[in-house]
Structures are given as C-alpha cells and as structure tokens.
Structure 1
C-alpha cells in the first residue's frame, strides 16, 4: 500500500497550444460583439469553442473584463486571458479570473518575394499521403489524419479540407483549408487558384478579407513565417 501511495498521481508538463489573438481598438462589449459576430458568421464551425486571447494596448483605458467573459460565453468562445497588460489591467484581468500572458512581438501579414531566405524549411517527420480524386463540395469535410492531403479537384465554398500535414489543391480553393492541424507550423497549403473563405496553419488563420491581395485568384503557397501566415507564389 505504501508503494502505491508514493507513486505520483499528478503531473504538469509544458506544452504549446494554438490561441487566436484578438487585436481591436474597441473593446467595449457592443463593439467587440459586432466584430466577433462577423467573424463567426464567416466561419462558424472553425471558431466554435475556440480559445482566444485579447491583446491590450495603452489606449485601452477602461475594459470590463467580467462583461467580456460573459460575451465570449454567449458566443460559445473561450476567453483564456489577455496579453500586453499594464499593471492596472493585469490586476483587473486577474480579478476577473483571466490569465495574463506574454506573447511574442505582434506579427504583420506578409507576402514575401519568392526565393527569399525564409522560404525553405526541412520536413523532419515523413507523412503518408491521402489523395482525393474529385471535387470537394459544399458541406463536405475531408480530414487527412497524420498525413498530407492531395485534392485533384476544387474545394467548393462551404467545404472544408483538413490535414495534419501539407495540403495540395490542384483546382480552385473556395472553401476552408486547414494544414498542420496537429500543431505543426512547418506545414503548407498549395493551391492553383486562391479564393478561400479561410486558410489556417497550426491554429493561425486568415479569413477571406485578409487573403484578397496580390495572390487572390492566382496559384499560391501559404505558409508560416515569423509567427504569421505568409502568402507567396506557387
């Protein structure tokens, strides 16, 4: 009996999990509700019970953290904590039961020129490949668990393709593509025509309005660079 009692029954291990970070100049309940609802309407399934952090700035003088927690619960989101808090903001956030986190430097959307030094990454873990021969239609979801995914067709609006590895789409990407779903930020999304509702790599995501730049309606490679999604030429 003494040997059983001496064995550890509780263990803490460090780990990394993807969190969505909210940057907003308006942290009033009404203002944030409108902004969040717009994103939820664009990709409701992706954001359901999503863990989120609010990025604070010195301009956020008065924030009702208790009211924001209630708002997130109503929207079926999980407000984990805040980042960038001042001493006063830290005390108020902690009083509301929120974690105070330290994140890396704010990242900006990148679209680097092809051939730049940050493009090449070595794939350390070999993966199997799942091949889908037909178009993926609205309402369909394809998941390549522990594998790369190749779609030899288009991904329609309202469709979703997910892979723990890379995603290759030989047709037009109009729906959602989520690569590195198990948390591997070295994975990429390749498509012949970028018109996506959402792209995500290892929990980092861009919605359609952020994608409509130089590579919209073109062949594109989507990857992570400096903790931000970057889009380059295929």
Structure 2
C-alpha cells in the first residue's frame, strides 16, 4: 500500500523499498509490468527467487500473495506462479500504476487513462459544485494557494495540483469517483515527470489559472461550468505530457 502523493514525490528519484518484503514486491511487480516476466510465463521457482533477493521462503510467499491480490500473477499447483494477462491487472491500484509509470505506458494505455479522466472527472467537478462542504472549499483554496506559492517549484506545484483534484473527488460524494485517486495521480506524474526530473523552467501560471477558474465555479455552485473547467485542466495535463516527453 502506498500513500497518496507518493508517486509524485518519487519523480525526482526512485524511492527505495522500506524492507525486504517491499523490495521483492517492487522488483517482481515492476518486472511483470515492464515485460521482464512476460504475460503467460512462469516466474522462476522459489529457490531461485529466494537466492536472487536473499529472502526467506516466508517473505517470498507473502510477496507473491500480494502480487496475486493485485491481479498480476496466479499460483498454479504443480506448475508454479504464472503471469496473467493485462485485463486482470488491478489498474486502479496505486502501486500497479506506479509500476506502469516506471515501465513507460504505451499509447493504448495512455488513451484509456485519459478517456477515463475525461469521462468521470468533469462529472466529479459538477457533483462537487452541488455537494461540497465549507471545509472542502477551504481545502481547495489552501491547495490553490500552495500552487501559487510553488510556481517555480514544479514538484511542489504538481503535488498541490493533485491534492486539489483529490479534494474535488472527495467533494463529489461518489465512491467510484473517489477510487480514481491512483489514476489521477498517475496522470499528474505523466504530465510533470520530465519537468521535475530534468528541472525544466516552465511557466506554470496558465495551469494555476485554470485551476483557479475550476475552484471558482465549484464554490459558486455552477455545475456545468465546473465540468467544463475540469475538462480544461485534464487537457492541460495531456498537452504537458506531449510537450515534455521523457528522455530516452
């Protein structure tokens, strides 16, 4: 389990696993997503993996159970642990999405990611305009202010940007939209990763202004305007990912 914002905080460098269990999960999970362990293949046997990662059988088995719960592998009696097809992967799981970012998602994945955001986040903004609480509006303004203060600090800016979207999803009062948290964070990571990692000088004022308009529409209860404003912020993320592709 990773905390909200962990993926964005890792943009300036890969986060080291906290323990052997986490290390095994990360290495095997990333290996599946990247294709090091192709779909349909059988993972090396327990003895080989225990030797590779220098862990006990107990640690290894618990790590494999975690990966099975995420839909990446399945244990088959007398066969071993098999990598399953992508359609079974838990793509709303934040850790799985982090591995997708590390591996470099393909065009089909990116298209699906953006389509999901376009389908659901504008609705979240519209619902938030109708259902927000006073505390949620105060939090939205807080994160807007953090964006404004971080116009010259891309990593802090993108964290505040994500937190603002997360509060809007909460204000929508829809558990299925709330479950998009990992998708939203991955989209922000894709938009900002090159800017943060390579320390590009970028004018983030237009991004701030779009979010300012978004919060204003939500605060005034303008559901239709809020939905359109959210669509504009999503399109900004897509364009930033295009304008600043990762270095090869």
Do the structures match in fold with TM over 0.5?
Answer: no
Q: TM-score, normalised by structure 1?
A: 0.32
Q: Which has the larger strand fraction? A: 1
Select the structure that is richer in helix.
2
Higher relative contact order (CA 8 A, sep 6+): 2
